[in-house]
Amino acid sequence: MILGKGHASGKVILFGEHAVVYGRPALAVPVTQVRAEAIVEAGSRGEGLVICAEDLDEELPLDGAPADHPLALVARLTLAHLGLKTSPGWRVRIRSTIPIASGLGSGAAVSAAVARALAEAAGRPLAPATLSAIVFEVDKLHHGIPSGIDNSVICYGQPVYFRREHPPQFFPIGQPFMLAIADSGIASPTRAAVADVRRAWESNPSHFEALFDQIAAIVEAARLAIGSGRPEALGPLMDRNHDILREIGVSSPALESLAAAARRAGAGGAKLSGGGRGGNLIALVTRETAGRVDAALRAAGAANVILTTVEPTDGS
Ligand code: PMV
């Protein structure tokens, strides 16, 4: 018997990754084509809570699970919030179509789905801000010191303009636009990229601060272009943001050849998205160019390409 269900979409960062860790703004949007789902069912008697990550073939009894296991942590934090002191005899089954460690927010979406399903099973749905705070705690295991952008966009399910330690702002989408999201096929933990950027920043803070300021200006211009229905203006901004990310040291040969292929095939612009090194590249496309850019990205080595339309949501 199903006691509760929860799901959450993936996300992409449009502009501002890495600089957002240093207090600059960033823009991110949900990607509804991929998502994580969790279902809570009645378990066997006396078993306590058992979490089953079906895609990974992993079964984790909560009692005795390590404190730093992300699934155990999200379950413990949620049960504590719900005031359930001992783990109930439930099975939580998780499935996700979001590629892992590729910048689409798989960790945060799985956490959000699990927390939502547990809360529904307990008859006490979580407010987005509460959910977001729980997911943020778990994201610290994945990311080290996350900025908070992933949990915000995923838990609110809306386009967000995000600044560290500020409540997320939701921004309007003046006119829908299309993105091709190409998975480089290279799993790249965000934590490592963020740590490398930190070391580089420590060795030359003024140079890096100047680069982050340039990214902040791009984010503001992009927010205006999106809000006023001029998505075609995003292409050159994506190219510039990508150039700066390369200078920061988070691009890679695979991402460079994907970006070049997308631009050659007619994309309005292209940039890496998320932590970088591997993970995803996003390219601005239209109905006319989408097919060509998709094919070019695959020919240039993309493991998968998702075409998504960024559209106004209820709250934007
Ligand atoms: O790799 P992703 O998409 O989870 O995003 C990481 C974004 C960074 O700015 C590099 C880190 C952060 O915590 O914001």
The full 3-state SS of 44-56, as one line of letters, equals: CCCCCCEEEEHHH
Given this model, what pLDDT does residue 278 score? Answer: 92
Q: pLDDT averaged over the chain?
A: 94
Q: Print the SS3 string covering 250-268.
A: CCCHHHHHHHHHHHHCCCC
Q: Is the CB of 143 under 6 A from ligand 1?
A: yes
Strand-pairing partners, residue 9, are 35
**Separation of alpha carbons 269 and 288, rounded Å:** 15
Collapsing DSSP to helix, strand or coil, 208 comes out as helix
Contact 104, 34 (CB under 8 A): yes
Ligand 1 centre to CA of 273 (Å) is: 8
The dihedral over CA atoms of 244, 248, 252, 258, expressed in degrees to the nearest 10, equals -20
Q: Can you tell me the mean pLDDT for 193-204?
A: 96
Q: Is the CB of 28 under 6 A from ligand 1?
A: no
Ligand 1 centre to CA of 143 (Å) is: 8
Residue-wise pLDDT for 253-295, tens only, equals 999 999 999 999 999 999 999 999 999 999 999 999 999 999 9
Q: Is the CB of 272 under 6 A from ligand 1?
A: no
**Separation of alpha carbons 283 and 268, rounded Å:** 7
Given this model, what pLDDT does residue 142 score? Answer: 76
Given this model, what pLDDT does residue 143 score? Answer: 76
Looking at the CA of residue 104, tell me the nearest atom of ligand 1. Answer: 3
Instruction: Enter the DSSP assignment of 36.
Output: E
Q: Name, in order, each residue with C-beta under 8 angstroms of 130's C-beta and a sequence gap of 6 or more.
A: 81
Given this model, what pLDDT does residue 152 score? Answer: 96
**Separation of alpha carbons 209 and 68, rounded Å:** 33
314 pLDDT more than 70:
no
Given this model, what pLDDT does residue 316 score? Answer: 43
102 pLDDT more than 80:
no
Strand locations in the chain, DSSP E? 2-15, 26-42, 50-53, 58-61, 90-96, 160-162, 169-170, 177-183, 269-273, 280-285, 304-310
Residue-wise pLDDT for 182-198, tens only, equals 999 998 888 899 999 99
β 50-53/90-96 pair status: parallel
**Separation of alpha carbons 17 and 276, rounded Å:** 9
Tokens 């290279």 — which residue? 186
Structure tokens at 117: 């399903």
Q: Is the CB of 13 under 6 A from ligand 1?
A: yes
* Residue 196: exposure state from Cβ atoms within 10 A (0-12, 13-18, ≥19): middle
19 pLDDT more than 70:
yes
Structure tokens at 186: 């290279």
Given this model, what pLDDT does residue 262 score? Answer: 98
Structure tokens at 30: 């949900």
pLDDT band of 312, cuts 50, 70, 90? confident
Q: Is the CB of 99 under 6 A from ligand 1?
A: no
315 pLDDT more than 60:
no
